[in-house]
Structure formats: C-alpha cells, structure tokens
Amino acid sequence: MKVNIREYSKEELIQQFESRKIPGFRAKQVYQWLWSHRVLDFGKMSNLPNTLQSQLSDQFSIEEITVDIIQRSQDGTIKVGFQTFDQEAIEGVIIPKDDRYTACISSQIGCSLACTFCATGFLARKRNLFAWEIYDQVYLLDELSKLDFEQSLTNIVYMGMGEPLLNYDEVVKSLRILNDEKEGLGIGAKRITVSTSGVARNIIRLADEGLKINLALSLHASSNDKRLEIMDINKSNPLELVIPALKHFYDVTKNKISYEYILLSGVNDSEEDARELATLCQDFPVYVNIIEYNPVDDVPYHKSKKEHRDKFLEVLRSLKVQAKVRRSRGKDIDAGCGQLANKVK
C-alpha cells in the first residue's frame, strides 16, 4: 500500500527520500509544495523532474479532506461540513466580526469528554484527526473566507469538535505547520488559540514546546463540585491540578490565559459563583469570556437571564477581573459554541 506522504515530518521525509536514492533537497521542495501551497498532485510540483513526479506518484499517496456542506447564517457566520478520507464528518466555522475573520477548527472526530451541555459530547469519539486534516480545515476555510469576504483568516481557534490536548502530538504538529513562515502557512502564534477542558499534564507539555500560542480553558464552573456535575473530565483533572498547570503555562510563555465560562441558568450564574471565579483569576493574568448558552436538543439547561448575566459580570469587574460577554454567533445553523454535531438545517 502507498503511504500518505503528508504523515511525514520534514526530517522523516528526507530520510524516506534518501532511502530511495532521491536527494534530500528534493524532499524539502516537496515539503514546501505540500504545506506552503497545499499542492496535492505530484504532477503539479513544477520544479520536480518528470521522472521523479512519476516515481513519487507510484510510491506515495496524498490524502485530503474535502468540503461537503456549506451553511451560511443570517449573521454572516459560515459552517462547513468536511468529509474525511475515511468518510467521516467533521465541522469547522468561519466567524466574521469587524475586521477579524476567525476559523474555529476541530481536532477529533466526535469527542470523548461528554460535557453535559455540549452537543459534540453526545457523539462518540471515533478517532483523532491527523495534523494534515487539521491543516486542511484552516486552508479550506481560508479559501472560503477569501471568496465570501474577500479577506483571509486573521485568527485560528482550536474550539471545534474534540479535545485538542487529547490529540496532543498531531495538534502540536499542526501548530508548527500553521505557524511556520518559510514552509507552512505563516500564521502568527499570537493569532492562534488552543482551547482545552483541562488536561493538566498536556498543558504543561504545551508550555514547554516553544510555541507562543494562546491558551483558553473551558472552565464553566469555579468549584470542583459544580464542575464535576457538568464536565466529567474534572474527575481526572480537578482544579487543583489544572490551575497550577495554567500558571506554569503563563510563567513560561507570558501569554495571558482566557477562561471560557458558559452561563447556565440556576447552575453556575449566581453572585457566589462569580466571586469564586474571581478567586481563580488571582494567580496569573486571566481574561474571562462569558458565553451565552446555545440550546442543544434534549439537554435540560437554559440560558442565564439577562439580569443574572449582568450581575455576574458586574461582580467580576468589581473584583478587578477583566471580563466581557461573548455573543453567540451562527445559532440558526447550529454553529454556535457547543452546538457542533454534524447537524444540517
């Protein structure tokens, strides 16, 4: 069977070429075609000899994900359903706002965490995505952004389907490709955010990778008891493990960390919840994004009332916490936070 050439790092590709008596500089040329330009046909790699193009076609495959469905929201948000090489489905979203065009991308097919407020959590995790599948989402969403908005993507957030830090190796590999200015897409680290539900050991590893990306914690409750009610990951990764890991990330990168906090009526939206949240913001610089809950079928939660949301925000600000309400986008096409579940309207 042919091996997918995009599964190799540059160093591995050089070794593969040299083992076939192909000069190493040819591997570097192919690598640039694959990642700087997303050329997926050896015959279109114009600086390669015809004989080498044929040899590579005989010995390697180039897999890809493809656009399956495009849905456009009334607010300008675009949701894209992608089909993988093994006929699975994942989703990505473009969120236009002012002069920002943000791509929300997925890292797994399904999710294993089963957060009770999230539609994706009801899907079984089928497998991790490869780095090239993550890259393809960004590339294809960027092409679509240029078509619809005449603007390239400005920001990338790993906030789609799955838990990025449970697909650690492939996510880090994809980050390096996206960030690489010479042989990748050249997206600045400050414009990339990885969101995690709190995989403490891998937060520490990520800090030490030398990447200067942003980190967001899907917190959603400020005590272990409440967090455990809605997020099963808190069993293995309680706040006593997660908060020190975040502090390590800040100490190494000096990047302010954001807390994502979905307000659920009667669950986590009291003034006491706000004060507990403020306490978690004391150890290192934190920015809190208050998120409106998006309805999910057969889930017994409701959006917090406006007066409770406003009071929650007031308490945070009175305690010197930087916070704002992040308005939900794309709700009419199930593209909002927590709604991605391969559902077409």
Return the active site residues.
91, 337
Q: How many whole angstroms separate alpha carbon 28 and alpha carbon 35?
A: 11
Q: How many whole angstroms separate alpha carbon 129 and alpha carbon 88?
A: 11
CA atoms in the 13 A half-sphere facing the CB of 330:
28
Q: How many whole angstroms separate alpha carbon 194 and alpha carbon 274?
A: 24
Alpha helices in the chain (DSSP H): 10-19, 24-36, 50-59, 131-149, 168-179, 200-207, 224-230, 239-253, 271-279, 306-318
Q: Checking DSSP bridges between strand 286-292 and strand 257-263, what pairing results, if any?
A: parallel
Burial 303-339 (b: 16+ CB within 10 A, else e): bbeeebbebbbebbeeeebebeebebbbbebbbbbbb
Token output for 191: 């414009």
Alpha helices in 209-254 (DSSP H): 224-230, 239-253
Q: How many whole angstroms separate alpha carbon 238 and alpha carbon 138?
A: 32
Instruction: Report whether 60 contacts 17 (CB < 8 A).
Output: no
Strands across the sheet with 257-263, in order?
A: 66-72, 78-83, 89-97, 100-104, 155-158, 192-196, 214-218, 257-263, 286-292, 322-326
Q: What is the DSSP-derived secondary structure letter of residue 99?
A: T
Supply angle C-alpha 51, 52, 58, rounded to 5.
95
Residue written as token pair 């180039």: 62
Longest CA–CA span in the chain (Å) reads 70
Q: How many whole angstroms separate alpha carbon 277 and alpha carbon 271?
A: 10
